[in-house]
Structure 1
Amino acid sequence: MPTSSRRRLAPPPIVAARPIELRVLGDFVEWLAASGGTLAVTTYNSGKLALFSAPDGTLTASYCSLPRPMGLAVSGNQLAVATRDHLWQLEIGSDSLEHAVDRAEVQTITPRQVNATGRLDAHDLAFDRRGLLFANTRFNCVARPSEHANFKRTWQPPFMAHASTAASTDCCHLNGIGVRDGRLAMATAFCERAEPAAWRAGDRFASGVLLDVRQNRVAVRGLSMPHSPRWHDGRWWLCDSGRGALATVHLKRETCEPVIELPGMTRGLTFVGDRAIVGLSRIRKRHILDAPPVRERWPRLRSGIAVVDYARGVETGSLEFVRGGREVYDAAFLPGVTAATFSTEAVGA
């Protein structure tokens, strides 16, 4: 697979960010305390990576500032974060998470490796058996970081195979990737067209697709700006974002069924036990990612995190971002980390 030429950019330092004004609803704090872990959330438009914990049943938060943080992925004691020009791999504490389960002290999140990517508009991240993967949205493909180039292409949708004129133009807005059994398996995109900026067309509210990577085909059509394909509990899930829905996938019927519709653009998804953790965004009117289907359904949209009992299709609690974090991109869970904060230790690319 081809690679791009490399343009090295030094990573910015990790610095503290202004807190987000929060409102707790339902059982969010009780659930987080019982989970025994920490929730990481990116708010890309306000440039913050947030960590939420509830040791002793009290909500605590730590924030750092990064340029346009988006996708998150966790593997062992690594937390990966996609930002505007870099892919960060952060170390969680000095020990593995398995040894951190019974430890009450605050775990430190420290940068250990940073890969310069340039302006690829990287969205979702995921770890497979070989390492880190990312949705390279600008180049309409799934890629890996490289020491010798900005990226190494690993897969692209079949409808992009002959789109040489759009090699460096976001055509389909490939944004989400999902791994199953250690292998890349699914991806989401806003459309299945190869013309430059085709995803910005007026039908984007119903032209979204779920892509089956292993079979190299479109698995589901008719989605509304989909994001965040995730394998959990023996089936695929995703955010049918423009409809504000958490949905489950029926591959044989080539359909998605909404489990719950929420008052926000759904984007960012992880699972903890019997709960789905769903990111919510208050998308601006007349913005390219404005979502009329969800905005017309709810008189007021929320930004933050919803905790959903997915078996019952019920929201049991939420953490609302009142001010300082209007648009969530992703959420990830750090098991066994009962409290966490960021290190300001510098690292070179």
Structure 2
Amino acid sequence: MNDKPDITPFQLTYSAQVPEILHRLRCSILLSTFQAGKLIAISSKDEDSMVQLARNFNRPMGITFSDEYNKMALASFNEVIQFRNSNVLAKTYPVQQNRYDSLYLPMQSNYTGQLDLHDLSYGESGELYAVNTMFSCICTFDANYNFKPYWKPHFISELKPEDRCHLNGMALKDGKPKYATAFAVSDTPTGWKKDLTRTGILIDIETQEIILEGLGMPHTPRIINGELYVLLSATGQLIKVDVENKKYTVVTELHGFVRGMSFYKDYLFIGMNKLRKNSSSFAHLDVAKLSDFAGIKIVHLPSGSLQGYLKYLSSVDEIYDVELLPGVMRPNILNNITDNFKKSILTEEHAFWIENKK
């Protein structure tokens, strides 16, 4: 008799509703786990079962996807990687033809240095914006510099690699960054750590006005159907913000450390985290006692009701970002170190796999 526990890597369990939801919505989930060093795609095989694909990246964090430009981007340890989708290369993938309906190939990399980039988002004309946590600003990228500052909070006196306020999230409106979240109004190195559960802020990027303060570790601001939503990680809450009156209401209690969410057709997919017991910043939080698994909870936004969950039993403890791929039932993703990536050729008019000469 073998009493050893099952330690299958990236073992995933889920409620019965999840495959049916993804199958009906015709979409797939992307999540980044910096702790495990993976970008993971999760899809329904049918209405009863799921399949996942995990790719190696160096400390992956923010993810953004643009259906309009047919591409996505990923923030990692010292670079931002932009991917282009090719349906043709997906269908002819050498390892297994006709298995995938999309294939995201690395097409461009900006070497940023160690900026501790958090949220990413495509704006108007395909401009890529990033929350540069190390330098307490929102930035963009070009071929000449590691980053180009776009905006900083008014209380940040100068840009230095000191993570002064733990700026972490942004929401875009009309193609431009509109709202940002940070852990504190601080202008000293890592000053946000002093009382991080009660000093978080939501700020209007255009006016520099602080809309909400005293928040518990706010993350992931998102504008959904014209309304602003934010995750409060320290309390495990999803809140809806009344910007005009500077107040909020709690949409639902998620009972865990929440971070990362994506919305599609009335459903919110929200990242759950199993907090590190040895973390000097997070282990003492009250929510740490409830944060017993990493995975995703699915919330029906109109009703605020929980519709399902995905739970990792091994390998994944922390999730940073969650993104939805609409209309994609079985995605494939390549990193820039695989042999298959080196054999892929994509031009404006053609797509090829290079065959090895014998």
The two structures share one fold, judged by TM-score above 0.5 = yes
Q: 1:168 to 1:295 in 2, by over 3 A?
A: closer
Residue 25 (1) aligns with residue 21 (2): no
SS in 2 for 1:295: helix
Residue 147 (1) aligns with residue 140 (2): no
Structure 1 equivalent of residue 26 of structure 2: 36
Q: 1:47 to 1:104 in 2, by over 3 A?
A: closer
Q: 1:267 to 1:181 in 2, by over 3 A?
A: same
Write the deviation string for residues 58-96 of structure 1: whole angstroms up to 9, x where unpaired.
31111101111000101122111100101011112247x
Match of 1:136 among 132, 135, 139: 132
Identity across matched positions, percent: 30
Give the distance between the partners of 1:19 and 1:141, measured in 2 at CA.
Answer: 37
Q: Equivalences for 1:166-177 in 2 at 5 Å?
A: 167-177=160-170
Q: Which runs of 5+ in 2 are unaligned?
A: 1-7, 89-97, 345-358
Give the distance between the partners of 2:16 and 2:284, measured in 1 at CA.
Answer: 26
Structure 2 equivalent of residue 270 of structure 1: 262
Give the distance between the partners of 1:250 and 1:104, measured in 2 at CA.
Answer: 45
Residue 64 (1) aligns with residue 55 (2): yes
Structure 1 equivalent of residue 273 of structure 2: 281
Residue 192 (1) aligns with residue 182 (2): no
TM-aligned CA deviation for residue 253 of structure 1? 2.4
Contact in 1 for aligned 2:19/2:46 (Cα 8 Å): no
TM-aligned CA deviation for residue 171 of structure 1? 0.4
Contact in 2 for aligned 1:205/1:223 (Cα 8 Å): yes
Q: 1:54 to 1:291 in 2, by over 3 A?
A: farther
Q: How many residues align?
A: 319
Write the deviation string for residues 206-264 of structure 1: whole angstroms up to 9, x where unpaired.
10001111111211111111110000022001111111111111112212222111132
- Compare 170-179 and 255-264 and name the one that shifted more: 255-264
Give the distance between the partners of 2:30 and 2:197, measured in 1 at CA.
Answer: 28
Q: 1:291 to 1:23 in 2, by over 3 A?
A: farther
| TM-score for the superposition, normalised by structure 1 | 0.87
SS in 2 for 1:242: coil
Structure 1 equivalent of residue 172 of structure 2: 179
Structure 1 equivalent of residue 315 of structure 2: 324
Write the deviation string for residues 169-210 of structure 1: whole angstroms up to 9, x where unpaired.
100000101111211101110001111110111x11010001
TM-aligned CA deviation for residue 19 of structure 1? 4.7
SS in 2 for 1:200: helix
TM-aligned CA deviation for residue 104 of structure 1? 8.1
Contact in 1 for aligned 2:61/2:320 (Cα 8 Å): yes
Give the distance between the partners of 2:285 and 2:16, measured in 1 at CA.
Answer: 27
Residue 54 (1) aligns with residue 44 (2): yes
Residue 304 (1) aligns with residue 291 (2): no
Contact in 1 for aligned 2:101/2:329 (Cα 8 Å): yes
Equivalent position amino acid for 1:175 in 2: N
Structure 2 equivalent of residue 100 of structure 1: none
Structure 1 equivalent of residue 354 of structure 2: none
Identify the structure with bigger relative contact order (alpha carbons < 8 Å, sequence gap 6+): 1
Structure 2 equivalent of residue 339 of structure 1: 330
Match of 2:107 among 108, 112, 118: 112
Q: 1:184 to 1:158 in 2, by over 3 A?
A: same
Structure 1 equivalent of residue 121 of structure 2: 126
Give the distance between the partners of 1:109 and 1:263, measured in 2 at CA.
Answer: 34
Q: Which has the larger radius of gyration?
A: 2
SS in 2 for 1:199: helix
Contact in 1 for aligned 2:100/2:332 (Cα 8 Å): no
Equivalent position amino acid for 1:334 in 2: L
Q: Which runs of 5+ in 1 are unaligned?
A: 1-17, 96-102
Give the distance between the partners of 2:206 and 2:80, measured in 1 at CA.
Answer: 25
Structure 1's consecutive aligned runs of 4 or more residues displaced over 4 angstroms after TM superposition are none
Write the deviation string for residues 131-150 of structure 1: whole angstroms up to 9, x where unpaired.
10000000000001221110
